[in-house]
Amino acid sequence: MVLYTSKKEQEMDNEFIEKEGEVYMKRLEEEREKRNQDSDKDSVLL
Q: What is the pTM of this model?
A: 0.63
Whether the per-residue pLDDT at 16 is higher than 80: the answer is yes
- Residue 11 φ/ψ, nearest 5 degrees: -65, -40
Give the pLDDT of residue 1: 58
pLDDT tens figures, 17-42: 999 999 999 999 999 999 988 877 76
Position 4 scores a pLDDT of 73
How far apart are the C-alpha atoms of 46 and 44, rounded to whole Å? 6
